[in-house]
Amino acid sequence: KKTSVERDVTINKSEFKAAVIKHLHCTLGTDENKANNHAWWKATCSAMQEHVLEGIRKTQKTHYLNDTRAVHYFSAEFLMGRLLSNNLQNFGLFDVANDALNELGVNLSDVLEEEPDMALGNGGLGRLAACFIDSLATMELPAIGYGIHYEHGLFRQEIQGGAQIERPDSWRDYGNPWEICRPESIQEVSLFGYVETKYGENGRIQKEWHPGHIVKGIPWDIPVVGYGGKTVNVLRLWQSKASGYFNWDVFNSGGYLDAQAENVQAETISKVLYPNDETEAGKELRLIQQYFFCACSLKDIIRRYKRAHGDDWSRFIDQVVIQLNDTHPAIAIPELMRILVDRAELDWDKAWNICTNVFAYTNHTLLPEALERWPARMLEKILPRHLEIIYEINHRFMKEVDKKWPGDNAVKARLSIIEEGNEKMVRMGHLSVIGSFAVNGVAELHSRLVKQNLFPEFDALWPGKLTNVTNGITPRRWLKACNPSLSKLIDKKIGDDWPLDLNKLAGLEKFATNKTFQKQFMQVKQQNKQLLAEEIKASLDIDVDVNAIFDVQIKRLHEYKRQHLALLHIMALYRRLLENPDYDMHPRVFIFGAKAAPGYKLAKDIILAINKVADKINNDARVNQKLKVAFLPNYRVSLAEKMIPAADVSEQISTAGKEASGTGNMKLALNGAVTIGTLDGANIEIAEEVGDDNIFIFGLTVDEVNELKASGYKPYDYYYKNPEIKAVLDWLETDYFTPGKPGALSSIKQSLLDHGDQYLVLADYEAYSKAQEEVDKAYRDKERWAKMAIINTAKMGKFTSDRSIRDYVERIWKLDSCPVRKG
């Protein structure tokens, strides 16, 4: 059978078996008779790690010998998920491993389930970083990811009495077989202290930072195996440790701190991932985390550069580009200035020229509460020299602004890095735009809004700097690995090179109306629904009918994403069924997955409400043949991989203008789910690809949202005008869903009526409800639905992260690929 993927690693079943046994014996010190699935998992990882390490060595040697320009992807989050199945898949050894383990009496899928997710991210932004490094390795581009080696990733979610409880995530407790510690590359990072101003003999003012603390950064490398297994890049994550250095002069007035307490402080830096997404936390430790990984990573980059180029900085901008994943790593800009000006003693202008040719910045949100601002006082305490540098950057920038808009103080106030007010704040977005040569949004609409609303004057000042790169997802994980049945069907129909060239999926379109193919496609969907039904039974003890519509909403819980809009509609369906037992609807299962930030009260109340409503509906014999609700706890990458292949309907219902892109929308459509969604983020581009007949678009547009808000939006009008809205909101306040506890869910009603319904849930309700009726109607026409589902898969070519990376490479990074070959 022909395979179009050239592979670097060839190893047969018996060799694989021998390698696994060897590691069972020699790495784990156990044997075939004693080993449980966890031991088999570790032994299989170790067997793979031999190839992985060989791949890393060859890749690094090749990049070194070719003195390649490389992209350095700085991100506070990398949401990697599980690695074994991905690495097997990308080395082309999945079937070999499956057969080998089978002969040993071991089931590979059970073994894969042993692996804890690497959940070092909150959601979209972190998962995007993981998809991007997969594409970079697959496309054989010289690249490294830099981030934080959190001891605890995103919390594990438990549901108790319907409410979210957070438990620590301990992904490394029993050892991580993939990571490689690199003690030879340990770095030291300074914090706190004060700045001394000195006058050099040449009259040059010299600044010397006398730090109060120095911490060590220990690098751990996670392999990133490209598809085909040729290039293996790394993700380098920094762990903090005490260095033993403590400047008593600085702190002697602050009282006694014993050595052990200092260790605890230093090690706290990489302890835990902040679980906020889309809310700026403003905590000292968060700023220290950001600086810690940026400083370590810059030192690492400079050490590598100097090995090849010595003290000559002139080629730095040819060799190094740094992509800032949101503003979380923006402190790298003043840090590089500090290194160049204070340490390398370059003039300011030379140093600034280097900076502004090295950094590029991606914006991921317009939500004002998510835009990072740090109190100047906090920066002064933790990074006193950096604050001075930021002031200097701003001073020079203000002069540039004055040239363009002479005497215009209002524009200066708007553009300044420093926000004046009660407390002076440093705007990290402004610093990022000023310090970068390119700034991008993550979908067409979002990038337009970044230009028009967020940074309009920056766009006027530097035309062309603000641009768009639409997000993407890796089809290796999000179709080939997570949906093997569909992948094999596609292979048979159009060949197996689509994972490297996703536009090839367009070849499926001509089969969209073919009865046989429709049947095969929908049979695969049915199988995947069966698997998810078993998961739902096991985790929630709910029986669901695989002939029902599986309607899936999976994403972080946030008001702007409007899970509560879906909830109101579910309650309305329930009410319609109670009022009219013959109410005509195709059976439907609403399936949710969502974590709420621990401090986000309303988000947690929405989770509680979904679970309470689910409880009632699922146990109400009057309706539960037609309606079910399942909230699957602990939504994470590995659970997404089970939910996405089983979805019929994809819920993408954010308020227009609020979801920067969305990437779950792409994953679901790629797996043949039909979207019900607003004209927001990448939904717009998905609609362009699949065509209006193959998506259910509803609701207000960005312009209509703005007009409605400008004209004075009154949610009560909708409450009084629409009896269904009134009925379900009033219902929420009774004790029907929370027996004995009336009012337990009333915060949702309050937010929609008394607190102004910021995200226009009530304004979009009727349109959503109508669109859902259209979904119902379409699904009942089996052929129509099969055609829609197939076209969704066929038209997702644009949304491969390979295309996103190609955009970055050609338009921003200017990189060449570097083939890694045997030897």
The residues that touch ligand 26M, with contacts defined as CB under 6 A, are 122-125, 128, 274, 276-278, 280-281, 286, 364-365, 370, 442, 471, 659-663, 681
- Over its C-alpha atoms, the chain yields an Rg (Å, rounded) of 27
* Catalytic-role residue among 17, 82, 364, 636: 364
Specify the residue, 91 or 455, whose C-beta has the smaller distance to ligand 26M. 455
Q: Which CA distances in Å does 755 have to 143, 609, 721?
A: 47, 18, 19
- Measured from the Cβ of residue 235, the count of other Cβ atoms closer than 10 Å reads 27
DSSP assignment string, 607-662: HHHHHHHHHHHHT-TTTTTTEEEEE-SS--HHHHHHHGGG-SEEEE-PPTTT-S--
Would you call 561 a catalytic residue per the annotation?
yes
Q: Name the residue with the smallest CB distance to ligand 26M.
A: 124
Task: Please say whether the beta carbons of 320 and 358 come within 8 A.
Answer: yes
- Residues 679 and 698: their CA atoms lie apart, in Å, by 7
Specify the residue, 474 or 769, whose C-beta has the smaller distance to ligand 26M. 474
Give CA 57 to chain center in angstroms: 28
- Residues 3 and 725: their CA atoms lie apart, in Å, by 56
- Burial label for 267, CB within 10 Å (0-12, 13-18, 19+), is middle
Specify the residue, 471 or 747, whose C-beta has the smaller distance to ligand 26M. 471
Sign of CA dihedral 697, 793, 682, 690: negative
CA nearest to 726, candidates 774, 766, 773: 766
Run of H or E including 144: strand 143-148
- Residues 735 and 738: their CA atoms lie apart, in Å, by 5
Q: Which CA distances in Å does 152 have to 64, 178, 296, 325?
A: 34, 17, 20, 21
Instruction: Using DSSP, state whether 240 is helix, strand or coil.
Output: strand
Would you call 667 a catalytic residue per the annotation?
yes
Structure tokens at 486: 């569909």
- Residues 10 and 8: their CA atoms lie apart, in Å, by 6
Specify the residue, 219 or 681, whose C-beta has the smaller distance to ligand 26M. 681
Would you call 556 a catalytic residue per the annotation?
yes
Residues with Cβ within 8 Å of residue 58, at least 6 apart in sequence: 232, 820, 821, 822, 823
- Residues 628 and 623: their CA atoms lie apart, in Å, by 8
- Residues 674 and 610: their CA atoms lie apart, in Å, by 23
* Catalytic-role residue among 561, 588, 612, 636: 561
Specify the residue, 62 or 122, whose C-beta has the smaller distance to ligand 26M. 122
Specify the residue, 575 or 806, whose C-beta has the smaller distance to ligand 26M. 806
Specify the residue, 31 or 284, whose C-beta has the smaller distance to ligand 26M. 284
Specify the residue, 228 or 662, whose C-beta has the smaller distance to ligand 26M. 662
Sign of CA dihedral 539, 545, 547, 552: negative
Residues with Cβ within 8 Å of residue 10, at least 6 apart in sequence: none
DSSP3 helix / strand / coil % (the chain, rounded to 5)? 50, 15, 35
Q: Which residue has the tokens 């050609």?
A: 810
Task: Please say whether the beta carbons of 142 and 805 come within 8 A.
Answer: no
- Measured from the Cβ of residue 18, the count of other Cβ atoms closer than 10 Å reads 14
* Catalytic-role residue among 127, 667, 795, 803: 667
DSSP assignment string, 561-622: GTHHHHHHHHHHHHHHHHH-TT-----EEEEEE----TT-HHHHHHHHHHHHHHHHHHT-TT
Specify the residue, 351 or 565, whose C-beta has the smaller distance to ligand 26M. 565
- Residues 117 and 132: their CA atoms lie apart, in Å, by 18
- Residues 334 and 323: their CA atoms lie apart, in Å, by 15
- Residues 678 and 761: their CA atoms lie apart, in Å, by 12
Specify the residue, 128 or 242, whose C-beta has the smaller distance to ligand 26M. 128
Q: Indicate the DSSP class of residue 272.
A: B
Specify the residue, 371 or 546, whose C-beta has the smaller distance to ligand 26M. 371
Task: Please say whether the beta carbons of 279 and 370 come within 8 A.
Answer: yes
* Catalytic-role residue among 446, 477, 555, 588: 555
Task: Please say whether the beta carbons of 553 and 592 come within 8 A.
Answer: yes
* Catalytic-role residue among 156, 556, 658, 787: 556
Specify the residue, 84 or 125, whose C-beta has the smaller distance to ligand 26M. 125
Rama region for 569: left / alpha / beta (φ>0; ψ in -120 to 50; rest): alpha
Q: Least separation, in Å, of the C-beta of 351 and ligand 26M?
A: 28
CA nearest to 237, candidates 361, 88, 121: 121
Instruction: Using DSSP, state whether 506 is helix, strand or coil.
Output: helix
Specify the residue, 124 or 797, whose C-beta has the smaller distance to ligand 26M. 124
Task: Please say whether the beta carbons of 293 and 147 come within 8 A.
Answer: yes
* Catalytic-role residue among 44, 62, 231, 663: 663
Would you call 558 a catalytic residue per the annotation?
no
Could you give the residue numbers annotated as active site? 364, 555-556, 561, 663, 667
